[in-house]
Amino acid sequence: MRYRRMPIEVESPEELGYDTITNNLSESSVADRKLSDLGLDLDLDELVLCYGDHLGDPVLRQAVATGHAGIEPDHVIVTPGAAAALFCVATSLLDRGDHAIVVRTNYATNLETPRTIGADLDVVDLAYDQAWKLDLDEVADKIRPGTTRLISVTCPHNPTGTMLGHDDLKRLVGLAERAEAVLLVDETYRDLTHTGERIPLAATLSPNVVSVSSMSKAYGLPGIRIGWAVTTDPEMHETLLAAKEQVVICGSTIDEHIAGRVLSERKRILPPIVADVRERLDLVDAWLAGQDTFEWIRPSGGVVGLVRFREEVEVDEQRFHHELLATHGTYVGPGHWFEVSDRSFRLGFGWPTHAELAAGLDALLLAAADARR
Ligand SMILES: Cc1ncc(COP(=O)(O)O)c(C=O)c1O
């Protein structure tokens, strides 16, 4: 494989330098946490820093499995972030020329790894005019029974924040089963949903499914690099473990210990985070309703949405992004991170302080005025 760095990583705020941005609306998680924020009273001094269980810390795997029908801790493989889980899934399933169907827009890795492998990639584009709803008929049409190896979707979705309904998910599972393909569901935002409907962990529905998630987004802990893949298929499970062992053998003892404690106490830790995210979502939605330059489809999950200039707004989008940061200290995720025009951008509403979020929204209109044609 010949790797190339993706724009979303090269231009990420941490690579740019957090100190160069005042209002950081480019992040895709809630605010990053310190250990002392978590109220865990951890005693890391006594932790033995051994090679750990290759599947991952049993306490953490138990916490991941709890509450999901038919999922046992041994169905879980802990990985260094969801990113590594996605990489292991793609490289385990795909060789050069293998057929894969992947949704776009998407978290960039979900497109980039199959591409780097040289897979025969069929992209299903989401459309604003269909409220970013995945067109399942198009997915069905693109399937080549017995040939398609991977169908890859993300729910809740990054960067649009839309979700699959339960029936849609079941239909996708059926499509994958009939095609003898694997359905990868990137569920990294699973714990952050804003509608009543809570769809099941996709891997509970069929051995043809791999669910992926992590501690990064809902818990604000991307620095402990803990994610996981879940599958009930023994062969897939064994292959994913082999992939993990070839890269890292096992995970970080410290990271897994912290994640295990956090996830075991999610009933205490998660609700205030979700309540705060929903408050922010309402704030951004109300702001969007009160102006006529930008539009979005209100996200149903996660902490990001894909905002775009209204069609009639004539603007130099490169100048907009330049002015936004250089003059107004505000950063968003430009469309090219997601293979769409820079007239769209990902707005992350979970990470900045409330004051920075409000200032960032004001800055969007100021930079749009600077860049009008
Ligand atoms: C949908 C999605 N999947 C996976 C990841 C990777 O996250 P991590 O490796 O930090 O768990 C991200 C990060 O932005 C994401 O948005």
Please give the backbone phi and psi of residue 172, each rounded to the nearest 5 degrees, phi first: -60, -40
> Per the domain annotation, does 297 fall within a domain?
yes
Judge if the beta carbon of residue 344 lies within 6 A of ligand 1. Answer: no
Taking residues 149-166, report their average pLDDT.
97
> Chain-wide mean pLDDT for the chain?
97
Q: Do 107 and 68 belong together in one domain? A: yes
Q: Which of these three, 264, 299, 324, is where a domain ends?
A: 264
CATH code, domain with 54: 3.40.640.10
The whole-number pLDDT of residue 21 equals 97
Using CA positions, which residue lies closest to atom 12 of ligand 1? 107
What is the pLDDT confidence band of residue 145, given thresholds at 50, 70 and 90?
confident
Structural domain of residue 363, as residue ranges?
A: 7-28+270-370
The whole-number pLDDT of residue 62 equals 98
Minimum mean pLDDT among 38-42, 185-189, 296-300: which range? 38-42
What is the pLDDT confidence band of residue 353, given thresholds at 50, 70 and 90?
very high
Q: Do 235 and 307 belong together in one domain? A: no
The whole-number pLDDT of residue 71 equals 98
Q: How far is the CA of 82 from the centre of ligand 1 (A)?
A: 5
Q: How far is the CA of 217 from the centre of ligand 1 (A)?
A: 7
The whole-number pLDDT of residue 1 equals 86
> Per the domain annotation, does 45 fall within a domain?
no
Q: Do 280 and 249 belong together in one domain? A: no
Q: Which of these three, 229, 248, 264, is where a domain ends?
A: 264
Q: Do 316 and 245 belong together in one domain? A: no
Judge if the beta carbon of residue 82 lies within 6 A of ligand 1. Answer: yes
Q: How far is the CA of 90 from the centre of ligand 1 (A)?
A: 15
* Measured distance CA(132)–CA(191) in Å, rounded: 21
In the chain, alpha helices (H): 7-10, 13-16, 58-65, 81-93, 108-117, 136-142, 166-179, 234-247, 253-264, 266-289, 317-326, 354-370
Q: How far is the CA of 222 from the centre of ligand 1 (A)?
A: 9
Q: How far is CA 237 from CA 203, 291, 313, in A?
A: 12, 49, 50
Taking residues 266-292, report their average pLDDT.
97
Q: Do 247 and 290 belong together in one domain? A: no
Provide the 8-state DSSP code for 31.
P
Judge if the beta carbon of residue 187 lies within 6 A of ligand 1. Answer: no
Judge if the beta carbon of residue 300 lies within 6 A of ligand 1. Answer: no
Minimum mean pLDDT among 33-47, 56-70, 104-118, 252-266: which range? 33-47
Q: Which amino acid is at 148?
A: T
How many secondary structure helices (H) and strands (E) does the chain include? Answer: 12, 13
Judge if the beta carbon of residue 107 lies within 6 A of ligand 1. Answer: yes
Q: Do 303 and 241 belong together in one domain? A: no
Q: Do 120 and 171 belong together in one domain? A: yes
What is the pLDDT confidence band of residue 72, given thresholds at 50, 70 and 90?
very high
Q: Do 229 and 276 belong together in one domain? A: no
Q: Which residue has the tokens 């138990």?
A: 62
| Domain count for the chain | 2
Closest-lying ligand 1 atom to the alpha carbon of residue 28: 14
Please give the backbone phi and psi of residue 340, each rounded to the nearest 5 degrees, phi first: -130, 175
Of 150, 156, 180, which is closest to residue 168 (Cα–Cα)?
156
